[in-house]
Homo-oligomer: A and B are copies of this chain.
Amino acid sequence: MILGFLSDFGLKDPYVGIVKAVVLGSNPALRIVDISHQVAPQDVIGGSFVLGSAFREFPSGTVFFAIVDPGVGSQRTGLLAVTEHYTFLAPDNGLLSMVFRYSKKVTCFSIENTHYFRHPVSDTFHGRDIFAPVAAHLTLGVEPQSFGPPCPDPVRLPWPEPVITEHYIEGEVIYIDGFGSLILNIAADLIQHRGPVRKQFKADIKGMELSLLSTYSDVAKGKPIALIGSSGFLEVAINQGSAAEVLGAGIGEPVVVRKVPKV
């Protein structure tokens, strides 16, 4: 069984290794696949996006372990969420927002049964003391409902919805990846159902008008392009460069996508 692991722990400190040690100490047969540990510290929204763009690529039955937890030790509870194909462990702070958005049936439980915790529970590292032992028990076969009562209304973060009109879609940058590409809150299908993508659309960003093409090398090296990115969202990129740097655009930068008349 695979455990997909996402956090903002970084890779300099031993926190990621400690969580793995605790989980594997109880369930040595688990396969742990790191999704990212370089979510910006306490950036629940960014973590939600990274997890949301990754989880559906994992095999059915995968358990996800996601910790971005500015409220550790406070009253926020831990969440165990079961969907049709996956199970998720995370603080109930909105980190699963994108998972909820893309999952049809979700059943949530609050993680409250201290029987499954490691004692004493620290106030600052629930990843080690609560989520890791719960992950071990869960993957060894303990039923989800054993960990606590149903949680009917988990936290969902507001998602910046694009403005959709007959003539254009206005969205914004929601994530910047490691290549400097700007991911927008405009899902591919919003555009695709208006017609074939290639050369039919323009994207306006920072006063520039970019053609919507297929892949980075459709433009010369160093030139900007709009395209459908691999996570299913519209993306603004520079062929072999960083769009964030070259265009000077950050999270929240507005982008308008328009269908253009056939030439």
Main DSSP-derived SS at the A contact region: loop
- Choose one: B9, B21, B62, B128; the contact of A178 (CB below 8 Å): B9
Residues in B neighbouring A179, C-beta threshold 8 A: 10, 41
Contact with B along A57-83 (1 / 0, CB 8 A): 111001000000011111000000000
Q: How far is the CA of A66 from the CA of B35 in the complex (A)?
A: 18
A14 interfacial by beta-carbon distance below 8 Å: yes
Contact with B along A223-239 (1 / 0, CB 8 A): 00001111000000001
- Known contacts A13-B50, A14-B53, A25-B59; is-contact A124 B215 (Cβ 8 Å): yes
Q: How far is the CA of A17 from the CA of B34 in the complex (A)?
A: 6
How many copies of this kind of chain does the complex include?
Answer: 3
A259 interfacial by beta-carbon distance below 8 Å: no
- Known contacts A25-B58, A36-B11, A41-B179; is-contact A72 B124 (Cβ 8 Å): no
* Nearest chain B residue, comparing its CB with the CB of A230: B125
- Known contacts A14-B50, A17-B36; is-contact A73 B124 (Cβ 8 Å): no
Whether A17 lies near B38 (C-beta < 8 A) is no
Q: How far is the CA of A147 from the CA of B201 in the complex (A)?
A: 36
Whether A71 lies near B12 (C-beta < 8 A) is no
Minimum CB–CB distance from A132 to chain B (whole Å) comes to 9
Identify the 9 closest CB pairs spanning chains A and B, nearest first: A73-B215, A125-B230, A10-B178, A25-B59, A14-B54, A123-B215, A17-B35, A21-B58, A12-B38
Interchain Cβ contacts under 8 Å between A and B, 5 examples: A12-B39, A14-B50, A17-B34, A73-B214, A74-B215
